[in-house]
Amino acid sequence: MKITIFTPTYNRAHTLSRLYNSIKNQIFTDFEWIIVDDGSIDSTNQLVQKFINEDKVDIKYLFLENGGKHRAIKKGLEFARGELFFIVDSDDHLLKNSLEKIWNVWEGLDKQKRKYAGVAGLRGYDEKNIIGNTFQGVYLDADSIDFRYIYNIKGDKAEVIRTELLREVNIPEYSGEKFLTEAVFWNEIASRGYKFRWFNDIIYICDYQSDGLSANYRNLLIESWRGTCKYFVDLLNSNKIPRDIKLNVILEEYLNLCFVSQKPKEEIVGGLLYLTSNPIFNEIMDMIEQRVILHNSVKSNFDLYVFWEEKEREWLKRGIKSIVIYGGGEHTDRLLRYLNFKNINICGIADSNVNLIGKEIGGYKINNIESYYSNSLDLVLISSFKFENEIFEQLSECFQGKKTKIYRLYHENPDVKMSIYGQLYWNNEVKK
């Protein structure tokens, strides 16, 4: 058996037929489909029995008490017969040549296969629009940590791993917790020195459900805290990730989760106790101390809506009537929820990342900054907390000699700096 398609499912009878049809129509046929039902109470069982009775696909169906996707993966690995293990969620589907492409790339590794964890293609919203960004060229050989933190590739991808290697990975279980990000085992495989061969073809189509794991990712991380702490500890202990990325990206993400869930300082520090032998442990603790102080400085009566109403009045008095927001990421997405200018025109969003050009955030199309070189543009609002000063320097050069002002949101509002950031990231209610 060459490939095991593995699908964990929970109450997805309404989406499974689409996945089944995409599987039975595969050009490549040397595969099996293992379905682990994580305690569904809908008609999943009866539907899968219909699939089995059709006898078009080699299907194994297993039913478990509800325990989470990571436990379902462990069970599926016990029965998998394929050389490669391909996790395909129950609300998604494949293209008809997906398995063929996977196997061709894998076979292309020839005698080097043992050096690789597996191969990985792209996920898309459809056949043409990829999720996240990607790399230049046809192939990239990199482990999961380098792929994410050195090459800075974002978005879900379609990893296909050697079954025997994934069986060796420690997939921990924590009592009372039903979620563990798959990044925990991709990162462990990276720490062992195994690379994926990433290829630039969409092979997996995602249909993110409102009640799915992806849509509720942050809440699941908070609710399954011990598993989440392991994920962050592993990254902060990795000798593959540069110090600056650990402090400014990974630790920042951990602290944001802590503040959103209103964890006390003792619990914030306690989640990282396994870092005591880490060479930057003292720096991590110092940063936690500083960030807790800053977090506590957030003004409880601060209202970001009112802030922007006042800012609009101030800008209009200065003759500012047209602006562009620089930054095509999450910060801008959050910022736009509070912007409701009545007399100032938001011309659009700019970013230097070529993979973001043409996409939309909040109804605004992302273009390169050169598209806005105009004497009629009054101001560029930098939408970034971490890289505000670096972006300011770049944009100042770009707009040198023009009347366009470059505005640093945090630098120019130091008294409410953390209140702005806190309202954007920490004060959102955590859904239960």
CA dihedral (250, 252, 253, 255) positive or negative: positive
Alpha-carbon gap, residue 112 to 141, rounded angstroms: 12
Q: In this structure, is residue 38 part of a structural domain?
A: yes
- Name the packing angle between helices 281-296 and 417-425 (round to 10°): 100
Alpha-carbon gap, residue 347 to 373, rounded angstroms: 12
Q: In this structure, is residue 252 part of a structural domain?
A: yes
Q: In this structure, is residue 108 part of a structural domain?
A: yes
Give the pLDDT mean for 258-267: 90
Q: What is the pLDDT of residue 299?
A: 74
Highest mean pLDDT among 91-95, 286-290, 388-392: 91-95
3-state secondary structure of 136: coil
β-pairing, 84-87 vs 322-326, is unpaired
Give the pLDDT mean for 277-301: 86
Share of the chain above pLDDT 90, in %: 74
Query: 262 and 326 share a domain?
Result: no
Query: 228 and 278 share a domain?
Result: yes
CA dihedral (170, 176, 182, 184) positive or negative: negative
Alpha-carbon gap, residue 403 to 426, rounded angstroms: 36
- pLDDT-derived band at 431, boundaries 50, 70, 90: very low
Which of 177, 207, 237 marks a domain boundary? 207
Strand partners, 122: 157, 202
Q: Which of 306, 297, 327, 272 is nearest to 421 (CA)?
A: 297
Helices marked H in 297-348: 304-317, 330-336
Query: 195 and 147 share a domain?
Result: yes
Query: 374 and 289 share a domain?
Result: no
Strand partners, 63: 37
Question: Residue 208 CA to chain centroid, in angstroms?
Answer: 13
Alpha-carbon gap, residue 342 to 339, rounded angstroms: 10
Q: Which range marks the domain in which residue 407 is found?
A: 304-425
Looking at residue 273, the DSSP 8-state letter turns out to be: G
Residue 336 maps to which CATH number? 3.40.50.720
Alpha-carbon gap, residue 307 to 415, rounded angstroms: 12
Q: In this structure, is residue 345 part of a structural domain?
A: yes
Query: 253 and 382 share a domain?
Result: no
Alpha-carbon gap, residue 321 to 344, rounded angstroms: 5
Give the pLDDT mean for 381-409: 91
Q: What is the pLDDT of residue 213?
A: 65
Q: What tokens appear for 159 in the block?
A: 């990893």
Q: What tokens appear for 260 in the block?
A: 């959103």
Query: 314 and 410 share a domain?
Result: yes
Query: 98 and 179 share a domain?
Result: yes
* Ramachandran class of 363: left when φ > 0, alpha when ψ lies in -120 to 50, beta otherwise: left
Counted domains in the chain: 3
β-pairing, 322-326 vs 379-382, is parallel
Query: 260 and 327 share a domain?
Result: no
Query: 237 and 178 share a domain?
Result: no
Which of 207, 232, 267 marks a domain boundary? 207
Query: 30 and 117 share a domain?
Result: yes
Which of 207, 238, 257 marks a domain boundary? 207
Residue 135 maps to which CATH number? 3.90.550.10
Q: In this structure, is residue 245 part of a structural domain?
A: yes
Lowest mean pLDDT, pick from 272-276, 329-333, 374-378: 374-378
- Max Cα distance, the chain (Å): 73
- pLDDT-derived band at 329, boundaries 50, 70, 90: confident
Q: In this structure, is residue 432 part of a structural domain?
A: no
Higher pLDDT, 278 or 121: 121
Q: In this structure, is residue 213 part of a structural domain?
A: no
Q: What is the pLDDT of residue 357?
A: 87
- pLDDT-derived band at 375, boundaries 50, 70, 90: low
3-state secondary structure of 69: helix
Query: 24 and 59 share a domain?
Result: yes
Q: Which of 228, 233, 231, 165 is nearest to 193 (CA)?
A: 165
Q: In this structure, is residue 20 part of a structural domain?
A: yes
Query: 192 and 236 share a domain?
Result: no
Q: What is the pLDDT of residue 212?
A: 65
Alpha-carbon gap, residue 117 to 148, rounded angstroms: 16
